[in-house]
Amino acid sequence: MTAIKLCGMMSESDIRKANELMPEYAGFVFFEKSSRNLSPERALELKEKLSGSIKAVGVFVDADESFVKELIDNGTIDAAQLHGNEEDDYIRRLKDAGIYVIKAIRVRDDESLKKAETSPADMILLDAGMGGGERFNWEMLRDFKRKYFLAGGLDPENVRQAIESLHPYGVDVSSGIETGGRKDSGKMEKFVENVRGTAGQEKAGRFGIHGGQYIPETLMNAVIELEKAYNHYKNDPEFNRELSDLLNDYAGRPSRLYYAEKMTKDLGGAKIYLKREDLNHTGSHKINNVLGQALLAKKMGKTRLIAETGAGQHGVATATAAALLGMECVVFMGKEDTERQALNVYRMKLLGADVIPVTTGTATLKDAVSECMREWTKRIDDTHYCLGSVMGPHPFPTIVRDFQSVISREIKEQILEREGRLPSAVIACVGGGSNAIGSFYNFIEDKEVRLIGCEAAGRGIDTFETAATVNTGKLGIFHGMKSYFCQDEYGQIAPVYSISAGLDYPGIGPEHAHLHDIGRAQYVPVTDDEAVEAFEYLSRTEGIIPAIESAHAVSYAIKLAPSMSSDDIIVVTISGRGDKDCASIARYRGENINE
Amino acid sequence: MSKIYKAFLDKKAFIPFITCGDPDLDTTKEIIRELEKNGADLIELGIPFSDPTAEGPVIQGANIRALSNGITTDDIFEMVREIRAEVTVPMVFMTYANVVFSYGIDSFFARCAKAGMDGIILPDVPFEEKTEFECYAERHGIDFVSMVAPTSEERIERIAQNAKGFIYIVSSLGVTGERSSINSSVKELVGKVKKSAKVPCAVGFGISTPQQAAEMAQIADGAIVGSAIVRIIGQYGKDAPYHVGEFVRSIKSAYPSF
């Protein structure tokens, strides 16, 4: 959601209107040369009438530090916004005094943007610097990385466009909601409505700026129908009972939370627990989502499942569910992946599925997804696209996340039972991000739990042979969603690489992109070498052969644990088992074995 | 208002599609000349994308050929600007959301306007997501063309009422590509669209022979032919312009008189 700051509040009626509209921030100006200048006494009177849910921001131009502190201390303002030539040290001193500092920067050129990027302030506000409401060239902000308030020339008419093209953290308006130098309640209302309107009420399935439904018209009614069915069945006791029976009796849930004592002792530091999704039926977390979607599809009257697969884990899980529920199944798999994961191809065929090798593009996971989308547009009536990760158009990222969130629900119960407290960190590997979001979801509100996603860096994030989307990609639109993607300067999707077929994808799910934006989760790159070492380490140390995907998460845990204290707990999700990878890891080590 | 309406003025429009830079931009220019000369009323120019999810194998192939030649969006703008001095036929781009988004939506449409383009078709931007693109397109006088599919049903009215330029009616399920026959339900679909539409509508997807094109133009306000032309370009490469011209002439001669 885009934050709103209504600035230059001057009268009781301005405050009343603000209390009605509930912007996140309201601004009081303390600058004698401004027509909106308030005396400290007057500001306090207004502040006392302002809703406690709206933060009051004092706007200053090269004011005495003591003046700013005084207004904070007596409760006139909750934050300080600096519009003068305040130096970084000035800002640091206010911050040290516990004051939330917003630094306004006049955007004129790249240099001012650089200054904005490196300012020590808690938040920055990018302003045309004209005061009178002139707009600066928005184009300059396209590649600007930091969170910011957009200001200067905004009004009810253009704010929607500004948000849609720039996605600022917040928007700041003053003269744009005035008529004849006074706040105009009609304009204030229109401004807020237009911001909120863009903020997700009209657009389905947004996670911050990410997500959405960027798909051909042919598929629109299919995803709308899916959303309706899901919203119905997710609250249906009969559906939930059936699903929970399948998860428990068939898939073997709950999965174990195993204390890796040898690993803990060997690394010295945080206590390490492994969430054993590898012990599920079919050998990975994929079955959680597949059983949910297959059951939903069956309730919707679909008789055929199609699915993409990278490493083959999702394909095997889908073929399994289709066999169990008596449905037809077609799995699309990059030709290259059918070669590196030949065993899984055989398993799928054994389960009665058709496996179609995809030869287009890079012949890997992304091409399998594209081919599934093409297939779905050909045949919608009887077919459900059983998407395997928290990606694609809405409602898939939500549906898959909900079905996978059983992982973190169990972790939470299990760790509380074992240790009586929450873990310090939860670590999972991220391709599209389904096991990671499943592992994170029920901890998102527990701010003390660090959430760490491990991306496949391939041969390194400074090479072209990588699949580390958050670390090397940029915002884009692909496979039905807005999120981060590895791409070139013209938006052509990059051919990514990882030793792990399951993480070898140029994008990341939109909810992860959002968790990254708001700083709630951290995404770290792990190279092929590091993952293979972790694969071998866990096998030797704990007698558990993890999937090479999961080994990325193990690798980061090996790095992190020694830096933490023995009071800390790390939970690492072992998303799948590594039998499928033995031949290719042997090859990586220069040994050829027959499968 | 763009020039698109002119394509449908007093005639049934014939709308060919080609992928820019397949096999190279000089040939693309030559093909555009041939298309206009042989009676194209509106030309759809594809900007290649690495992963065109709405295309069948023929147009996918053209995208790969163009990109492997290193063709960029900027090269295409430049080519269009140059050819615009010679041709007057309305032209629209067909590409994917990320090509426009990564260029900067506003900059992209500013360049479109400068180069003399009239409209844009983005098959992965449905009605719900179009504002993000359309508001900029409008600012620069570029029509954002909406699509209607056989599955659109109750969505048709909303899409058609708000459509600009022309409405692209997808004849059948699936991706682009030649089909031996086109489902007879197209007529019904066109009827539904026409009830709410304020702009002309043209049918595309699967139209490959002069007879099919003529039949669709009879039902709607125009017909779009893509894969059949792109296949000829794939087959003849640099020699394609002449063969494409011949093919277009054969379609136009089968066309119904207005």
CATH superfamily label, A3-202: Aldolase class I (3.20.20.70)
Residues 6+ apart with CB under 8 A from A240: A234
Residue of A139, A213, A360 with shortest CB distance to B106:
A139
Judge whether A140 is closer than 8 Å to chain B, CB to CB. Answer: no
Query: Residue A129: is its pLDDT beyond 70?
Result: no
Cα dihedral: A176, A177, A179, A184 (round 10): 180
Residue of A nearest to B139 (CA): A161
Mutate which: A492, A493, A496, A505, vs B, most B CBs within 10 A: A492
The pLDDT, as a whole number, for residue A131 is 45
Mutate which: A140, A163, A209, A214, vs B, most B CBs within 10 A: A214
Give the residue from A361, A232, A247 showing the smallest Cα distance to A299: A232
Q: What is the C-alpha to C-alpha distance for residues A122 and A91, in angstroms, rounded to an integer?
A: 9
A466 contacts A500 by C-beta, under 8 angstroms: no
Q: Using the beta-carbon criterion (under 8 Å), do A490 and B102 form an inter-chain contact?
A: yes
Return the H-helix or E-strand segment holding A487: none
What ranges make up the beta strands (E) of A18-99? 25-30, 55-60, 79-82
Query: Residue A595: is its pLDDT beyond 70?
Result: no
Q: What contacts 24+ positions apart, CB below 8 Å, involve A440-443? A: A440/A408, A440/A515, A440/A521, A441/A401, A441/A404, A441/A405, A441/A407, A441/A408, A442/A405, A442/A408, A442/A409, A442/A411, A442/A412, A443/A408, A443/A411, A443/A412
- Chain A closest CA to B191's CA: distance in Å? 18
- Chain B closest CA to A216's CA: distance in Å? 5
Q: How confident is the model at residue A197 (pLDDT cuts 50, 70, 90)?
A: low
Three-class SS state of B160: helix
Which A positions 363-382 lie with beta carbon below 8 A of chain B? 366-367, 370, 373-374, 377-380
Buried/exposed code over B208-227 (b: 16+ C-beta within 10 A; e: otherwise): bbbebbbbbbebbbbbbbbb
The pLDDT, as a whole number, for residue A200 is 41
A210-250+283-399 and A257-279+404-588 agree in CATH topology: yes
Active site residue A308: yes
The pLDDT, as a whole number, for residue A199 is 42
Q: How confident is the model at residue A209 (pLDDT cuts 50, 70, 90)?
A: confident
Mean pLDDT rounded to a whole number for chain A: 93
Q: Using the beta-carbon criterion (under 8 Å), do B129 and A203 form an inter-chain contact?
A: yes
ipTM: 0.97
Instruction: Please name the fold of domain A210-250+283-399.
Output: Rossmann fold (3.40.50)
A145 contacts A164 by C-beta, under 8 angstroms: no
The pLDDT, as a whole number, for residue B1 is 63
Residue of B nearest to A167 (CA): B132
Domains of chain A: which residue ranges?
3-202, 210-250+283-399, 257-279+404-588
The pLDDT, as a whole number, for residue A559 is 98
Active site residue A575: yes
Q: Using the beta-carbon criterion (under 8 Å), do A360 and B101 form an inter-chain contact?
A: no
The pLDDT, as a whole number, for residue A128 is 64
Give the residue from A283, A261, A279, A280 showing the smallest Cα distance to A270: A261
Q: Tens digits of per-residue pLDDT, A402-426? A: 999 999 999 999 999 999 999 999 9
Q: Tens digits of per-residue pLDDT, A425-475? A: 999 999 999 999 999 999 999 999 999 999 999 999 999 999 999 999 999
How confident is chain B (258 residues) per 10-residue block, as mean pLDDT? Answer: 88 97 97 97 98 95 96 98 97 98 93 97 96 87 97 94 95 89 88 95 95 95 97 97 97 86
- Chain B closest CA to A279's CA: distance in Å? 36
Q: Using the beta-carbon criterion (under 8 Å), do A492 and B67 form an inter-chain contact?
A: yes
Radius of gyration of chain B (CA): 16
Mutate which: B64, B124, B134, B176, vs A, most A CBs within 10 A: B124
Contacts of A202 in chain B (CB under 8 A): 128
Q: What is the C-alpha to C-alpha distance for residues A206 and A220, in angstroms, rounded to an integer?
A: 16
Q: What is the C-alpha to C-alpha distance for residues A383 and A304, in angstroms, rounded to an integer?
A: 5
The pLDDT, as a whole number, for residue A316 is 97
Residue of B nearest to A370 (CA): B53
DSSP characters for A41-52? HHHHHHHHHS-T
Residue of B nearest to A480 (CA): B124
Largest CA distance in chain A: 83
Instruction: Please name the fold of domain A257-279+404-588.
Output: Rossmann fold (3.40.50)
Q: Report, at the CATH architecture level, how domain B11-251 is classified.
A: Alpha-Beta Barrel (3.20)
Residue of A nearest to B63 (CA): A361
Any idea what the Cα angle at residue B195 is, between residues B192 and B201, rounded to 5°? Answer: 75
Tokens of A243: 């699903």
**In this structure, what are the phi and psi dihedrals at residue A284, rounded to the nearest 5 degrees?**
-160, 175
Helix residue ranges per DSSP H, B15-162: 25-37, 57-68, 73-84, 97-103, 105-115, 131-139, 156-161
- Chain A closest CA to B197's CA: distance in Å? 17
Three-class SS state of B158: helix
Residue of B nearest to A216 (CA): B124
B18 contacts B31 by C-beta, under 8 angstroms: yes
Q: Using the beta-carbon criterion (under 8 Å), do A217 and B152 form an inter-chain contact?
A: yes
Q: Using the beta-carbon criterion (under 8 Å), do B104 and A212 form an inter-chain contact?
A: no
Burial class (CB in 10 A: 0-12, 13-18, 19+), A154: buried
Active site residue A48: no
Q: How confident is the model at residue A255 (pLDDT cuts 50, 70, 90)?
A: very high
Judge whether A487 is closer than 8 Å to chain B, CB to CB. Answer: yes
Residue of A202, A218, A477 with shortest CB distance to B101:
A477
Domains of chain B: which residue ranges?
11-251
Q: How confident is the model at residue A202 (pLDDT cuts 50, 70, 90)?
A: very low
Identify the active-site residue in A175, A255, A575, A584: A575
Give the residue from A402, A433, A428 showing the smallest Cα distance to A573: A428
Radius of gyration of chain A (CA): 26
Cα B141 to the chain's mean position, in Å?
18
Q: Using the beta-carbon criterion (under 8 Å), do A370 and B53 form an inter-chain contact?
A: yes
Tokens of A31: 């600058």
Distances (CA, A) of A432 to A377, A498, A518, A555: 22, 13, 19, 19
Cα dihedral: A400, A488, A463, A143 (round 10): -80
The pLDDT, as a whole number, for residue A112 is 85
The pLDDT, as a whole number, for residue A195 is 86
Residue of A nearest to B138 (CA): A161
Judge whether A385 is closer than 8 Å to chain B, CB to CB. Answer: no
Give the residue from A205, A225, A479 showing the smallest Cα distance to B153: A225
Give the residue from A274, A244, A559, A556 showing the smallest Cα distance to A439: A274
Cα A265 to the chain's mean position, in Å?
33
Q: What is the mean pLDDT of residues A267-277?
A: 98
Residue of A220, A380, A487 with shortest CB distance to B102:
A487
Residue of B123, B128, B155 with shortest CB distance to A216:
B123
Identify the active-site residue in A178, A308, A511, A549: A308
Contacts of A487 in chain B (CB under 8 A): 98, 102
Residue of B51, B128, B173 with shortest CB distance to A213:
B128
Cα dihedral: B158, B159, B165, B167 (round 10): -130
Tokens of A582: 């033995």
Query: Residue A302: is its pLDDT beyond 80?
Result: yes
Distances (CA, A) of A318 to A108, A245, A402: 54, 18, 17
A319 contacts A351 by C-beta, under 8 angstroms: yes
Contacts of B123 in chain A (CB under 8 A): 216-217
Q: What is the mean pLDDT of residues A69-80?
A: 94
Which A positions 446-485 lie with beta carbon below 8 A of chain B? 474-480, 485
Q: What is the C-alpha to C-alpha distance for residues A345 and A503, in angstroms, rounded to an integer?
A: 18
DSSP characters for A193-230? HHHHIIIIISSSSEETTEEEEE--HHHHHHHHHHHHHH
Tokens 């997804």 locate to A369
